[in-house]
Chain A
Amino acid sequence: MSENVKDKVIEIIAEQAVLEPSDVKMESTLEDLGIDSLGLVESIFAIEEAFDIQVPFNANEPTESEFDISSVAAIVTAVESLVAEKHA
């Protein structure tokens, strides 16, 4: 399942960044990929829809949120744990 989460998250981020999934590296930041604040909330919406989860993210204080968006890898890890919680 884990691979699926990673692939799906990358697919969502790639679509937002108008890139091929292969161009989205795990160490990339959203800034590297050219995703702005509206693109970020749209990505979070797409992630919530794709996995049927609630992402704890407040655009007013993105760095204070429990949801780590510092890199693609961090987002994948955070989504994996939310998906695991849902199935727990």
Chain B
Amino acid sequence: MKRVVITGQGTINALGHSVPETLAAFREGRCGIGELDIQDLDRLSIRIGGQVRGYDPEAHFNRQQIALYDRFTQFTLLAARQAVGQAGLTFSDELSEEAGVVLGTSGGGMNTLDENYRSVYEEGKNRVHPFVVPKLMNNAAASHVSMAYNLKGPSFTVATACASSNHAMGQAFQMIRSGMSRVMVTGGSESMLCFGGIKAWEGLRVMSKDACRPFSANRNGMVQGEGAAVFVFEEYEHATARGAEILAEVIGFAMTSDASDIVMPSRQGAARAIAGALRDARLAPADVGYINAHGTGTAANDKTECAAVADVFGAHADRLMMSSTKSMHGHLIGGTGAVELLACIMALREGVIAPTVGYEEPDPECALDVVPNEAREVQVDVVLSNAFAFGGLNAVLALRRV
């Protein structure tokens, strides 16, 4: 089996338009959630989100590109540009033939859907722009990344709701580990902070009106975010041979299905995914220093996740740290695992654990060290990243310091 390392990372999200800005926010425990700036806000009862601020598409893309790229694709391309730039790779010849791009998204071009439904239903127009379909399709972002970097190998999009990015990165990991490809571009993005996107989530009645407070006894729901994070996964020998800077090593991945409920999480399903990732990475529970939690801030997720961690880690559960950075960037749905991997890499490289902000009251059902409110300097060697999706689809990644 080949070893898999990360040699590039990029992002745009509510905490910043780059990795350094995002990591600075993690260190400072700065929250990027605020009042949404979207059309028809007055008809929504949920009015907060982790929105990307100060973003001007025309600063990055020409008119024809903007006509073709939904916001989720724009975010993906910006993150990919940073990641591929950092990796310092150009894709030609054999490398181009085998390198691909696997990305996660849940809603794809939700803004495009929303704008065009508005146009035909609300404004009564009978004609839509010809690019509606290529703009909204879930694989648009992956396809545009493949075109931008000449990636001609295995490329597709994974849609498993809130676990999409972890499933996507797990696929990229396995492709390199098995020898199918030496380089994969992977991660995910989401942009559903539009009237229809928020309205749909309102219906479930799991959204907070004021803040995302994972693991806090007074938590009252999730807060949506938007953005993207993209990584370059590379075969270890290939990376070292060209002297690339290695950010972290991906050492394990597991996925499970609860096979029980379309929205309620399962302690067993989550525990099996966590235990599976440890087994895949040949780790003992005591090796793990930090877990980036799924930590949505809903009553159900957080207590189920803590119970699953207690089941897998036993006494070590009280010694490891587990935080939810969704408290700062919001829940990016299909893109969330990708943005959260940035916090995992920061923990390994810098020995800084991103906090769970907005934490106010201990909850006996979430009695783990959730790194409340302030980042902590602790050297860790192995971290996990949890994602537990609606539909009961779970995906957990394991990473190691290099």
Contacts and interface: CB of A to CB of B under 8 A. Distances in A.
A38 B127 contact: no
A26 interface: no
B131 interface: yes
Contact of A48 (B64, B67, B127, B131): B127
A42 B127 contact: no
B129 interface: yes
Contacts of B68: 38
Contacts, number: 16
A18 B65 CA distance: 13
A67 interface: no
Contacts of B67: 42
Interface in B60-112: 64, 67-68
A41 interface: yes
Contacts of A41: 130
Q: Is the interface of A mostly helix, strand, loop or mixed?
A: helix
Nearest to A37: B130
Q: Classify chain A: how many residues form its interface, as a range.
A: under 10
B103 to A, nearest CB: 22
Interface core residue of B127, B130, B131, B134 (most chain A CB under 10 Å): B130
B127 to A, nearest CB: 6
Interface in A44-71: 44-45, 48-49
Interface in B111-141: 127, 129-131, 134
A86 B64 CA distance: 30
Contacts of B130: 38, 41-42, 44-45
Contact of B131 (A18, A38, A44, A49): A38
Contacts of B127: 45, 48-49
Interface of A: 18, 38, 41-42, 44-45, 48-49
Interface of B: 64, 67-68, 127, 129-131, 134
The 3 A-B pairs with the shortest beta carbon distances in the complex, nearest first, are A41-B130, A45-B130, A42-B130
